[in-house]
């Protein structure tokens, strides 16, 4: 159970809120690089309860700026993206990616004060198909979070988005709740239905694992453990990483290079963003005869509605609350447990069904919720310390601390400590880290 006061503290992210200000200390995934074309249409962008505008100028630089013109507050969404700037169509005032006013064509010569006018503009950085934005107050931005997928070759990275109509914390907590895996996603599957050499069969043999949890440099982690064969344990490790990243255990620890970001658009809408290695080994997706697992036929495929230009117009699932996510009650009765048609939609429906911001004072948490409890405590401790003393949260000034995080599953010999098992597997895992420079202050294509 979480008090209503603490729930508000964790969920509200607008300017001036404790959690919102904490998040602004970090670089934030803003949009896909391919959403913005040089001199192309500007795009409305809602981040942390701020209405912004994103555009790519003639030279390819990305600007993320206040959507309102500094003159009469008309929206620059209707502006002309031309000549390395966005020009307001109301009176022609023009601004560059750094917010500088370049031109006041309706002001007589000798009366222009363009050099004294700016609109709010945030630093941006592009890497592996993502545009990142720094919305904090530092003159010199921190280094980007050194999450493992950031170091992969661009052509080996898959980037995706899906909008969720709920608070960011609901999405994040769904990711670190491992016990729903054997019910929501695999509830209709029995151990005998899958290949006998699959280590993931042990999650079906025992759907109520024991848990280890710990606070870490980067946030929190857990290991769900079950008996495997004699003298062995089946281990599933996953992480929360400040401020809103997760690494899920949906694959083999050896090569499961992933992160998800639960980016708040506002208090009641989230842009779930994922970056994954295309060559990773996934967990259960098919039965032993090669047929897809009922309910996972589409795996994580999310059919989208056509994008629109409004504030909530990007990456909206076609299956949503207005059509009950196309739940199939006959499939639920006979084959797929949930009756929902894909892994992503299964998660989406359940998380959104809690409401825009769930009232956590109504909960009755169990042993299976240990990771959720420890993560809430870690978040509360960090946001209260930041608000009272200005203590920086984890990862802002030590981004390489994220290097210690890797998620996934493996079978280990019983009798070792769970952290010793993790460390041994981490040493032997495929690692992506290289000499990639993630400091935007060093690279010329970061907005200055």
Tell whether 4 is covered by a domain.
no
**How high is the mean pLDDT of the chain?**
94
228 and 375 in a single domain? The answer is yes
Q: What CATH number is associated with residue 60?
A: 2.102.10.10
189 and 49 in a single domain? The answer is no
62 and 185 in a single domain? The answer is no
Separation between Cα atoms, residue 24 and residue 440, nearest integer Å: 16
Confidence of residue 300 (pLDDT cuts 50, 70, 90): low
Final residue of a structural domain among 104, 119, 141: 141
Residue 106: Cβ within 10 Å count: 11
Q: What is the pTM of this model?
A: 0.95
Residues 100 and 65: beta-carbon distance below 8 Å:
no
Tell whether 135 is covered by a domain.
yes
Tell whether 9 is covered by a domain.
no
Mean pLDDT along residues 78-98: 97
225 and 313 in a single domain? The answer is yes
137 and 161 in a single domain? The answer is no
31 and 177 in a single domain? The answer is no
338 and 257 in a single domain? The answer is yes
Mean pLDDT along residues 44-52: 98
Torsion of CA 382, 386, 391, 396, to 10 degrees: 70
Please tell me the predicted confidence (pLDDT) of residue 126.
95
423 and 285 in a single domain? The answer is yes
Residue 241: Cβ within 10 Å count: 25
Residue 447 has pLDDT above 60, yes or no: no
In the chain, % of residues over pLDDT 90: 91
Confidence of residue 294 (pLDDT cuts 50, 70, 90): confident
Please tell me the predicted confidence (pLDDT) of residue 444.
42
pLDDT in tens, 369-379: 999 999 999 99
86 and 227 in a single domain? The answer is no
Query: What is the helix (H) or strand (E) element at residue 387, kind and residue range?
Result: helix 370-389
**Number of domains the chain contains:** 2
Residues 344 and 352: beta-carbon distance below 8 Å:
no
> How many angstroms from the chain centroid is the CA of residue 318?
20
Mean pLDDT along residues 253-274: 97
Residue 147's contacts (CB-CB under 8 Å, 6 or more residues apart) are: 241, 245, 259, 275, 402, 405
Mean pLDDT along residues 150-157: 95
262 and 370 in a single domain? The answer is yes
Query: What is the helix (H) or strand (E) element at residue 18, kind and residue range?
Result: helix 18-23
Mean pLDDT along residues 107-116: 93
Instruction: Write out the residue range of the structural domain in which residue 214 sits.
Output: 150-428
Tell whether 17 is covered by a domain.
no
Separation between Cα atoms, residue 322 and residue 336, nearest integer Å: 22
Separation between Cα atoms, residue 42 and residue 33, nearest integer Å: 13
Final residue of a structural domain among 92, 115, 141: 141
pLDDT in tens, 9-39: 999 999 999 999 999 999 999 999 999 999 9
Torsion of CA 380, 386, 391, 392, to 10 degrees: 80
Residue 301 has pLDDT above 90, yes or no: no
pLDDT in tens, 54-67: 999 999 999 999 99
Tell whether 277 is covered by a domain.
yes
127 and 191 in a single domain? The answer is no
Query: Whose CA is closest to 49, among 74, 17, 87, 26?
Result: 17
240 and 384 in a single domain? The answer is yes
Tell whether 128 is covered by a domain.
yes
pLDDT in tens, 199-213: 999 999 999 999 999
């Amino acid at each position: 159970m979480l008090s209503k006061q603490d729930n508000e503290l964790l969920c509200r992210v607008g300017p001036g809120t404790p959690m919102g200000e904490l998040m602004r200390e970090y670089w934030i995934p803003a949009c896909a690089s391919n959403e913005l074309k040089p001199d192309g249409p500007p795009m409305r962008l809602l981040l942390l309860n701020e209405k912004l505008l994103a555009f790519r100028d003639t030279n390819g630089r990305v600007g993320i700026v206040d959507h309102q013109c500094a003159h009469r507050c008309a929206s620059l969404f209707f502006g002309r993206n031309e000549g390395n700037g966005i020009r307001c169509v109301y009176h022609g005032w023009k601004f560059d990616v750094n917010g500088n006013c370049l031109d006041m064509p309706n002001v007589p010569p000798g009366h222009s004060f363009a050099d004294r006018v700016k609109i709010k503009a945030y630093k941006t950085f592009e890497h592996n198909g993502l545009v990142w934005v720094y919305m904090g107050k530092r003159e010199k931005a921190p280094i980007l979070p050194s999450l493992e997928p950031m170091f992969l070759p661009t052509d080996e990275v898959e980037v995706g988005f899906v909008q969720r109509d709920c608070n960011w914390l609901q999405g994040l907590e769904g990711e670190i709740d491992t016990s729903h895996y054997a019910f929501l996603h695999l509830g209709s599957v029995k151990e005998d239905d899958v290949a006998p050499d699959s280590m993931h069969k042990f999650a079906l043999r025992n759907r109520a694992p024991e848990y280890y949890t710990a606070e870490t440099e980067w946030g929190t982690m857990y290991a769900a453990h079950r008996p495997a064969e004699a003298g062995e344990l089946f281990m599933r490790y996953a992480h929360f990483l400040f401020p809103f990243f997760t690494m899920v255990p949906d694959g083999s620890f050896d090569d499961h290079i992933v992160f998800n970001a639960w980016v708040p658009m506002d208090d009641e809408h989230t842009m779930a963003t994922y970056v994954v290695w295309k060559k990773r080994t996934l967990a259960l997706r098919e039965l032993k005869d090669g047929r897809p697992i009922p309910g996972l036929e589409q795996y994580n495929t999310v059919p989208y509605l056509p994008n629109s230009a409004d504030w909530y117009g990007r990456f909206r699932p076609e299956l949503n609350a207005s059509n009950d996510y196309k739940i199939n009650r006959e499939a639920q009765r006979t084959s797929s447990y949930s009756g929902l048609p894909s892994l992503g939609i299964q998660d989406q429906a359940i998380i959104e069904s809690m409401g825009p911001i769930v009232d956590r004072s109504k909960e009755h948490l169990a042993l299976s919720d240990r990771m959720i409890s420890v993560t809430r405590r870690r978040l509360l401790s960090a946001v209260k310390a930041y608000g009272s003393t200005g203590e920086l949260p984890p990862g802002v000034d030590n981004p390489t601390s994220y290097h210690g995080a890797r998620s996934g599953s493996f079978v280990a010999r019983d009798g070792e400590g769970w952290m010793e098992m993790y460390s041994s597997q981490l040493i032997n895992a495929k690692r992506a880290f290289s000499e990639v420079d993630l400091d935007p202050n060093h690279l010329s294509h970061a907005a200055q």
